[in-house]
Structure 1
Amino acid sequence: MTRKNPRPARLALALAVALTLTPLTACSAGSLGSSSESSDGGTTITWLTGSDETAQTTARTIVAAFEKANPDITVELDGRPAGAEGDNLVKTRLQTGSMPDVFDYNSGSLFQQIAPEKNLTDLTGDAAVAAVDEAFSPQVSVGDDVYGVPYGTAFGGGVMYNKKVYEELGLEVPTTWAEFLANADAIKAAGKTAVIQTYGETWTAQLPILGDFHNVAAADPDWAQEYTANRRKYATDPVALAGFQHLQEIHDRGYANADFASAKVPDGMRLLAAGDGVMYPILSGNITTLAAAAPDKVNDVGFFALPGTDAASNGLTAWFPNAVYIPNTTEDAQLTAAKKLLAFIASPAGCEAQSQASPPTGPYLVEGCTLPADVPQVTKDVQAYFDADKQSPALEFLSPVKGPNLEQLCVEVGSGITPAADAAKLYDQDVEKQAQQLGLEGW
């Protein structure tokens, strides 16, 4: 079930993946540059999107469906690679008034950093945002003003688990950490790896901390705001410290696979699919890796949120998709067409086009959009948390503060090198340096 809220009331900060800057590349028929009236009297607009194959395939599929429904509008694609250079490109284009008519970019904190009030078209009350789920609207809003529509699907940070092994051992999905440990003990006693760890890709070590944030926020709804203001610390807040402690427990109790230090995500997925490993803290979007590693075992694997201390408040830590925006430099002749494109993207027809381009790995945050019946069980399980309104944003969608050394510190805790309490203190120091670089008040 989705919910509309065309005028969200809260300001959300978010951390999202950076884009990049390189010279623009033509990615569709027609010339790049400013939009124009087409020779047949229709309107031509330009959409700046990623230049990688996946981004281009998705955009082309959407454009084809949109142009079929709107034969008087032509959409040309402008390419932008990913990474820090593209992030700079977006900011430069906005600052110089040379941004194409439509562009997709991060939601959250990077969205806030492009000065939306100054640079973007306010879509509040417009048909383009009428169907946007209220869970997403704050990620593209400043106060009550909405500036974008979701592009792609949400996903969660939690635990992929082998459902068949759970059934064989008579286990139920845990909603408290104590239940999680009891399940892990039963799995270990059965001679299997209880908790898969893959530190060959260091980012995966962060999941017990990052994926636990729903539990932190449930216990203290103001935690993110207070953290950003330097009034909350991981080392001194028992609820926030718990994620580091859980990571240490996984090591100390001998739950991890023997090759955890070198294993990578595909290794973890193969172990999970085979049932030799049973629980894997990971982002649900990595279902694509599971599908590639063991396509015949995809539906043997389910997903649950990382549990905390309170079963009643247990829920999913959610990561939100990027968004599509209209710069305020888009001329009136193209503005109507641009809004129509956004309204199409944020509609069931737009969701269907995206699903045709690539299988969804989570829910579309648009009213009326449904997932194809054949999506993996993991995706269905993530959708269920959204349907039940048992999800909340990851910390990086509520605060710009994240230290660069978290991955390495988590690897050290999960490897038994550094105790959880010491790592939390070191991370607080790491965060302080980063917050000072951002010029945040209170640091």
Structure 2
Amino acid sequence: MKNSLTRRVLTASVGVAVLAIPLAACSGGGGGSSSGGTTEITYLTQSDDANTAQAKALIAAFEKANPDISVKLDTQPGGTEGDNLMKTKLSTGSMDDVFHYNSGSLLQALNPDQTLVDLSDQSWVSTLTDDFKQVVSTDNGLYGAPWGTSFAGAVLYNKKVYSSLGLTVPTTWADFIANSEKIKATGNGITPILQSYGDTWTSQLFVLGDFANVSAQDPNWAKNYTANDPSAKYVNEPAFAGFANQQEVFDKKLMNEDFASMTNAQAMDALANGQAAQYPMLSATIATVQQNEPDKTDDIGVFALPAANASDTSITMWQPNGIYIAKTAEGAKLDAAKKFVAFANSSDGCAVQNDAGGAAGPYVTSACTLPSTAPALIGDIQKYFDAGKTGSALEFLSPIKGPNLENITVAVGSGITSAKDGAAQYDDDVKKQAQQLGLSGW
């Protein structure tokens, strides 16, 4: 497992097939053929069972609605190998006509202005959220349509515990700490704030889940961070807050005593059963409760990790992956490819996505509506969407993600390293990674 809370880590850690994060690269031939009045295009997804099954269902529904177009499915392993193969295919002009891949910084590494078809003139673009548009666009065009739902990095909480103690959802960090101290003061054994360093990746939420608050205070922070602007460092506010908050939780003894060994699955069980009240975590982990204790799924709510000021409090979102068209698709193939992408974001395409299950957040297109069986916590996230209080996780806005963050946050969260030292260590960690990426200014 990589030492980062990226979408790859989520796939490995949560273990929910439908949440597998596409890191596809193509395999097989790219172009397809046209014969007998039927246009053939190819569609690439990654080779895990969940994504292959979704792709087959999408193709079957599309071909039924478009009998003059046939779609050949290609698959490719994910991970770094897949990333490299995809770049090779695009650079050599042998990419499949349509393909499924990450949004955000990994997409930018594909040089989309030169390799992908600009889809900004398509009618479905008007249905997208601004956050998603940002992570599939450059200054020169918009290149992807969403596939799947978003999910949040926030605070999961037990609504029954909150109700029994008369607590309200906090909108400031001070309110969050006050709630946690009230829970501790009851003496009933309920853990105020869960931490689960037995799965070290989970230690990063105080930092990564705070990033929408950073963006709310400084909309240019991610851009300046990528450019190595001295103001955009974790040792400085507003980004320092994530480290400082994690230290405060430890210092005030608001965590479970077994934080060093507890796993994510154990934490979700404790939260669902009311043994704990709050857990900074990804909303995607609700799948653990759905699987193990489905009758308690709707006891779990979610709220944004609060900023110091309520006006800055926003929820951090991990955006869904996208479906893209390679620039090598031309003529009838390009027309067919555009129909295929549009279909994926139509009511019929949304039905395919809903049938797959696994929703962990709102759709980023108004074309899709969640089924009634979706977890209740998604309604909590939707309120932030409706209020315009969302922001993408940093990994979608910058390619820089230091490999040692989870080790640093475990140390800060365990009282081994101060927040100030941890932030400084992480600034050094990302410097090394930025230099490896060959970014200018580093």
Q: Fold-level match, TM-score > 0.5?
A: yes
- Which residue of the partner structure matches residue 206 of structure 1? 204
| Paired AA for residue 103 in structure 1 | F
Query: Is the 2:25–2:46 Cα contact (8 Å) retained in structure 1?
Result: no
- Which residue of the partner structure matches residue 309 of structure 1? 308
Pair 1:160–1:141, CA change in 2 (3 A): same
| Paired AA for residue 147 in structure 1 | Y
Task: Give the structure-2-normalised TM-score.
Answer: 0.91
CA displacement at 1:292 relative to structure 2 = 1.6
1:34 and 2:34 aligned: no
**1:229-378 correspondence to structure 2 within 5 Å:** 229-231=227-229, 232-378=231-377
1:137 and 2:133 aligned: yes
CA displacement at 1:146 relative to structure 2 = 0.9
| Paired AA for residue 101 in structure 2 | Y
| Paired AA for residue 102 in structure 2 | N
| Paired AA for residue 228 in structure 1 | T
- Which residue of the partner structure matches residue 12 of structure 2? none
More displaced 10-residue stretch of structure 1: 256-265 or 170-179? 256-265
Structure 1, unaligned stretches of length 5 or more? 1-14, 26-31
Paired residue secondary structure (2:382): helix
CA displacement at 1:23 relative to structure 2 = 8.8
| Paired AA for residue 302 in structure 1 | G
CA deviation map 1:248-301 (0-9, x unaligned)? 122121121222112211101100000001101011111112212321100000
Paired residue secondary structure (2:271): helix
- Which residue of the partner structure matches residue 155 of structure 1? 151
Instruction: Find the aligned partners of 2:96 and 2:48 in 1 and give their Cα distance.
Output: 18
CA displacement at 1:34 relative to structure 2 = 3.1
CA displacement at 1:19 relative to structure 2 = 5.9
- Which residue of the partner structure matches residue 193 of structure 1? 191
Instruction: Find the aligned partners of 1:248 and 1:192 in 2 and give their Cα distance.
Output: 20
Instruction: Find the aligned partners of 2:79 and 2:235 in 1 and give their Cα distance.
Output: 35
CA displacement at 1:22 relative to structure 2 = 8.5
CA displacement at 1:187 relative to structure 2 = 1.3
Query: Is the 1:154–1:365 Cα contact (8 Å) retained in structure 2?
Result: yes
CA displacement at 1:339 relative to structure 2 = 0.3
Pair 1:409–1:327, CA change in 2 (3 A): same
CA displacement at 1:102 relative to structure 2 = 0.5
Select 1:76's aligned residue among 49, 55, 72.
72
Query: Is the 2:113–2:140 Cα contact (8 Å) retained in structure 1?
Result: no
CA displacement at 1:378 relative to structure 2 = 1.6
Pair 1:143–1:20, CA change in 2 (3 A): closer
1:99 and 2:95 aligned: yes
Instruction: Find the aligned partners of 1:253 and 1:130 in 2 and give their Cα distance.
Output: 47
CA deviation map 1:169-191 (0-9, x unaligned)? 00000000110001111111232
- Which residue of the partner structure matches residue 170 of structure 1? 166
Query: Is the 1:51–1:81 Cα contact (8 Å) retained in structure 2?
Result: yes
Instruction: Find the aligned partners of 1:328 and 1:23 in 2 and give their Cα distance.
Output: 14
CA displacement at 1:38 relative to structure 2 = 4.7
- Which residue of the partner structure matches residue 51 of structure 2? 55
Instruction: Find the aligned partners of 2:63 and 2:372 in 1 and give their Cα distance.
Output: 27
- Which residue of the partner structure matches residue 213 of structure 2? 215
Task: Give the structure-1-normalised TM-score.
Answer: 0.91
- Which residue of the partner structure matches residue 381 of structure 1? 380
- Which residue of the partner structure matches residue 122 of structure 1? 118
- Which residue of the partner structure matches residue 440 of structure 2? 441
Instruction: Find the aligned partners of 1:60 and 1:115 in 2 and give their Cα distance.
Output: 28
| Paired AA for residue 407 in structure 1 | E
Aligned residues: 422
| Paired AA for residue 92 in structure 2 | T
CA deviation map 1:30-88 (0-9, x unaligned)? xx65311254x222211010110110121122222212211222212111112111111
Instruction: Find the aligned partners of 2:427 and 2:235 in 1 and give their Cα distance.
Output: 10
Pair 1:22–1:73, CA change in 2 (3 A): closer
Query: Is the 1:307–1:314 Cα contact (8 Å) retained in structure 2?
Result: yes
CA displacement at 1:16 relative to structure 2 = 6.0
CA deviation map 1:322-352 (0-9, x unaligned)? 1011101113121111100100112232122
CA displacement at 1:128 relative to structure 2 = 5.2
Paired residue secondary structure (2:127): coil
Instruction: Find the aligned partners of 2:153 and 2:428 in 1 and give their Cα distance.
Output: 25
Instruction: Find the aligned partners of 2:241 and 2:362 in 1 and give their Cα distance.
Output: 28
- Which residue of the partner structure matches residue 18 of structure 2? none
CA displacement at 1:93 relative to structure 2 = 0.9
1:424 and 2:423 aligned: yes
Pair 1:263–1:164, CA change in 2 (3 A): same
Instruction: Find the aligned partners of 1:326 and 1:52 in 2 and give their Cα distance.
Output: 21
Paired residue secondary structure (1:59): helix
CA deviation map 1:132-158 (0-9, x unaligned)? 333311111111411111111111110
| Paired AA for residue 86 in structure 1 | G
CA deviation map 1:197-224 (0-9, x unaligned)? 1111111100001111111122222222
**1:404-423 correspondence to structure 2 within 5 Å:** 404-423=403-422
RMSD (Å), alpha carbons: 1.8
CA deviation map 1:7-31 (0-9, x unaligned)? xxxxxxxx86586689947xxxxxx
Instruction: Find the aligned partners of 1:135 and 1:117 in 2 and give their Cα distance.
Output: 19
